[in-house]
Structure 1
Amino acid sequence: MFKGIHHVAIIAKDYEVSKHFYINTLGMKIICETYREQRQSYKLDIQVAEEGTPSQIELFSFPNPPSRPSRPEAAGLRHLCLAVEDLDKAMQEIKARDDRNLIVFEDVRVDEITGERFVFFADPDELPIELKQVGSSW
């Protein structure tokens, strides 16, 4: 019935900082950017994967959004996980593009069930992002 996840929506406190983070630091591509005057809100559609099933991030701005609890663990959607072929290479590329020194990677871990390597870091609004090294069959 389902073909995959189409998009994940994120509300940014500082739209320009988050836009820079996802486009310049993570290297994602803009699909479409829209300003909605009546809502005083930007909506930026960002392409996540270069091939395969389409997946997007919808980055929104709203005036004065409340902070999202991240720690301690809060109920609800926990984090965004991005699949990569080579975890070390992806970390190096992201760090090389981090011109604002926002990226602090946690220690690389190994999933005890799948044996796949992964690491966490946060976006400018403290949203946890996971990079997970997945096999070529992904």
Structure 2
Amino acid sequence: MENIRSNQAMLPTYNLLRITFSVVPIVAGLDKFTNILTNWEQYLNPNITGILPFSPHVFMMIVGVIEIIAGVIVFRKAAVGALIVAAWLTLIALTLLASGHFLDVAVRDLVMAISAYSLAQLSKFVL
């Protein structure tokens, strides 16, 4: 009986993380098309832009679509979507670390990846 109560106590935290990791990727994904929040192309590792078969802008729009899909998956099935977002954020952070630029953003993305992974783990107990 105590386990059921503790699971219910986790529900507000679960919901907050689920909403956050649904909305933020969707907003960031949409912004890849408008660059209102930032110029996303500046975060691309120059080594990656050199091997792309299309422009960095097109690449960022593809990234945006992937982020929107990931946010929707988190909303519909948090356990799976949160793992996708955690992996995605980790890859972004590793790319930034490899470039040697925007290290503060890399650290922030790693912290967010840990939070997304925590959501995936939390979803095992809440659902």
Could you state the TM-score of these two structures normalised by the residue count of structure 1? 0.30
Query: Higher relative contact order by CA 8 Å / sep ≥ 6: 1 or 2?
Result: 2
Larger % of helix: which? 2
Could you state the TM-score of these two structures normalised by the residue count of structure 2? 0.31
Larger % of strand: which? 1
